[in-house]
Each structure stands twice: as structure tokens, then as C-alpha cells.
Amino acid sequence: MNGPWLPWRSALVLAGAVGLASVIAVIWGWSSLDRDDEGAIIVLAPSSLAPVQDALDAALEAELGEAPQWNFSGSQSIVAQITDGAPVDVIVTADEPSYLAARAASAGRFEFRSEVTLAENHLVLAVAAGNPGRVDRLATLADPDPLVGVCAPVVPCGRLAVTAMAGLGAEIDADTEETSVRALTAKLVSGELDAGLVYRTDARAAGLDVIAVDGLDAFTNTYWGGANDRGRAVIDFLASDEGQAILRAAGFGS
């Protein structure tokens, strides 16, 4: 076991994420954020939106004639990509601090033409198939036996977990801290972990069993989105009644 979940580990995780983004930037030769060239609209979005891509693409193709190019990653990686000048037309993050960091990183290079709050999400206590860790309440996450995962505190789902655990007076003996909720969910699906705190939408999309925890749904993240002129139609669609209906069907709140 790795011992109690300590947010100081986030510095190491963030350094690794930024370094990886820099390497990718060199390989692909990223250009200016505010692009004038033709081609698909590029969306940098948090990994928690990945399960709803197909539904959004179908609707966007009908609405705009073409689906955008989605690049999913943890919100902290989105900020790192923007810092390195990744081409982008739409920016979506899973909480406000990440969005403000993205704005700061893009200052002077990306002209925001449309900005909105898009949805809300909250954490659930999800368990692997068959509940091998016999997790029946939040307090079980402090026991040494179950293999438990959380998101790293540098990403929105991790920050939310820190806030929720403090608010609920709970502790976690975490075996891993993942840099995205998608990676954490995948380890629950594969059985590498017994339990973890993931977004409601990811648990639903993956078909994971959820243990009811009183008060956990009171802690939420708000998703923010912004776009330049090329991406404005996409962000406007996400905020529209049709776009909101697709997000709600996936388990997002608004």
C-alpha cells in the first residue's frame, strides 16, 4: 500500500504531464492557438467528455455538416498543451480553476469569442465487477486491504475528491493517483482496482456498480468552455437545448 493520499504528490504528476506535453509539441510541430486554416474544428476537452463523443458528433454533423476533432486528456494536460501552443479552436475544462489557467496560458494568442458554463458533474464511489474489495461505505477506502484509486489532486476530479473527503470527514488509503478520470475508470473496469472515486458520467458509461454515499453528490465540478471564431458554433451547440439534452442523458447536470 502507498499510505494515505497526500496532495504533495501532485507536483510530481503535474511536472510529468507538462513534460510529456512539451515532447508531443516538438514532435507534431504545434502552431498558433488561433488558427486561420481550413479543416476540422479542434476541441481540447477533458477525458470525462470522451464517453459522449459519439452522440455529440452525430448531432454536430447534422447541425454543422462536420464533426470536430476531439483531443481528450486531463484538464491539467489541456493547460500544458495550450502553454506549448497546441492548435485549438474550442477549450473545455472540467472545472473553473483549469479554465482560468487555460485562459492565462493562451493570453495574446487565442481570441475568446464565446464563453459559457456547460454542465456539472459529481463523484461517485465506484467498484470493480463483483465488488471484490467488499466496499460498502466511504470509510472502507481508509482500510488497507482494498485496492483504491483516485485522481491526482492536480486534476479537477482529484481536487474535487480532496474537497469532498474534507467536507465529509473521510480519509482514503490510495494505491494510485491517476492523471485523468478515464485512466482511473479503466483500471476499475479491468479489475486492477477494487474501488475509486470517479465521475458519475464515467461510472455510468463504463457500467460500473456504484455504492451509495450520503452527501457525496453535493460536491460538484462545473465545466467551462470557450471558443474562437472558428469554434464558436461548437461551443454554442454544447450550450444549446439539444447539446444540453445530450449531456444530461450521459449523466451530466446543468
The 3-state secondary structure of the chain, one letter per residue? CCCCCCHHHHHHHHHHHHHHHHHHHHHHCCCCCCCCCCCCCEEEEEHHHHHHHHHHHHHHHHHHCCCCEEEEECHHHHHHHHHCCCCCCEEEECCHHHHHHHHHHCCCCCCCCEEEEEEEEEEEEEECCCCCCCCCCHHHHHCCCCCEEEECCCCHHHHHHHHHHHHHCCCCCCCEEECCHHHHHHHHHHCCCCEEEEEHHHHHHHCCEEECCCCHHHCEEEEEEEECCCCHHHHHHHHCHHHHHHHHHCCCEC
Residue 60: pLDDT band (50, 70, 90) is very high
Residue 105 in this model has a pLDDT that exceeds 90:
yes
Residue 24, pLDDT above cutoff 60: no
Per-residue confidence band for 239, with pLDDT thresholds at 50, 70 and 90: very high
Predicted TM-score (pTM) of this structure: 0.84
**Tens digit of pLDDT for each residue in 107-150?**
988 999 989 999 999 999 999 999 999 999 999 999 999 999 99
pLDDT digits (tens, 9 = 90+) for 203-222: 999 999 999 999 999 999 99
What is the residue-averaged pLDDT of the chain?
Answer: 88
| Banded model confidence at residue 87, pLDDT cuts 50, 70, 90 | very high
